[in-house]
Structure 1
Amino acid sequence: MSKLKQMSIFAHIVEQGSVSAAAEKLELSKSVVSQHLKILEQELGASLLKRTTRRQTLTSMGERFYLSCKDINVIADSAWDMAKAELEEPQGRIRITAPNALMDLLVAPVVADLMKQYPKLKPELISDDQHLDFMEHDIDLAVRVGTSRDSNLKQKRLGEFKDVLCGVESMRSRELESIPYIANSWQGKQVSHHFTSQTDQNFIYQQQASCTTNSFHSCLALIKSGVGIGVIPDFYLSQLSNEVIDIMPSFQLPTNTVYALNPFASNTPIAIKLCVQALEEKLKQNFV
């Protein structure tokens, strides 16, 4: 690392025309710059500059060495410019995962708005009702229900919603225990729901799943077909135009809390920050 620094300083000395001018450019003392040059020449075993009190010229070795050293500064400047540009305008790939229901009505609309504001942003969206491993799937941001036990992840609460036990209209007239239950695979095959009424009456519903699926959309399609009942987020139910209904309108399920998780220990990328802020705002407007 010190060699790269010394090479960079040498290139600045050549380009600025003197040790003093390079020191001023780099905001270092003249003695520090001179010392770096001295060490560099000692390690190379060759003089790079011929200096008098009024001028400096490159030795033949110095001329050849400078051609390589100047590229270090060009590359460094280019990298800094790129990083600063990204801070001013989010750009590049951002890989986001969320459950299907949240992806459809929360994440995808938010990302669409961000793409309109920042055309250089290149989102990759992964809808999956299972929790994907951040490292294995190269995830930048996950939107999930509930927190994670992984202390390496940054977690921010975004908002809340409630699940609703739903079915087609004809399900209301049937005994609840006699109706087949359609479960998403994350629920398991033995389903249990704790309902509370507006008068604080508690009711625990337990049922063996008649069908399981690893996709929210498959679960919803089965419920809409009338073969069984299952839970649907309240924000999604409002979009279904009475295709399915709340079959227990006098009772409510517990609140679900939505979190944004990312694996960045510090200096979270601006694209992630903007996305989380927009998700939080949309949840406040439409979900809570």
Structure 2
Amino acid sequence: MTRSARARREAIYDLAVTTGLASVENLSARFGVTASTIRRDLAVLKDDGRLARTYGGAMPVEAHPEASLRQRVGLAYEQKQAIARWAAQEIQRGENILLDGGSTVAALAHQLKTVADLDVSTVGLNTIHELAGATGVRVRCLGGLLREASQTFVGPLTEAALERMTFDRVFLGADAVTAEDGICEADAIQTRLKELMARRAERVYLLADSSKLGQRPFHAWVRLPGPWTLVTDDGASAVEVEKFRNAGAVVEVVATSPRPPS
């Protein structure tokens, strides 16, 4: 095996670990080799016990670890704050809105503390903490089973509550999102819930900083019913933004401002 082939296979493995799934076509274009060469590389990595083949590509043998909510809070802080400020301006007084869990949606909840005459339903424990004591906001907790990693309520009790309600707007978070497959999460119980949340709202927003676009860390997916709006930051590549617009999403790219001094 030549040094270049060895280096390419190491790079392929690194990409698979980072994104969770590497497309043969994308890898072929990235490394400037044929698809058959990439398939041979994947076969070698599979034989070495490092990758497991999937339809169209590969994934690491070890499951991609899911970061806890605590670990995610400090990531992309300025981007999340900018996205939250934009989303807060969309909400009108007197509306009935639905908030997901996650750090970006919690940043939105923080922006809503001073809003008067607002009904907020949520599955996120951190969102509840943010809005506790906000005098102008009526908060409904959609209870169920508390999922430890994401600090969100999930399961049949949560879904039953949602089936009996409708909302003016829903704001969703995501572990990752692609134009081709939609929202990516660690397990199907989360994607099922997000799909139901999106169906119950008149307007659907996905709040996702640019680091999450085009990523595939897990293998549970949900396609959002159209039309829907992706709100991301100005670190997003023009290529990724165009993919989402071509797929039918409205994309709002917000400018990121420096973090205020503490």
Q: How high is the TM-score relative to the length of structure 2?
A: 0.32
> 1 or 2 for the larger relative contact order (CA 8 Å, sep ≥6)?
1
Q: Which has the higher helix share?
A: 1
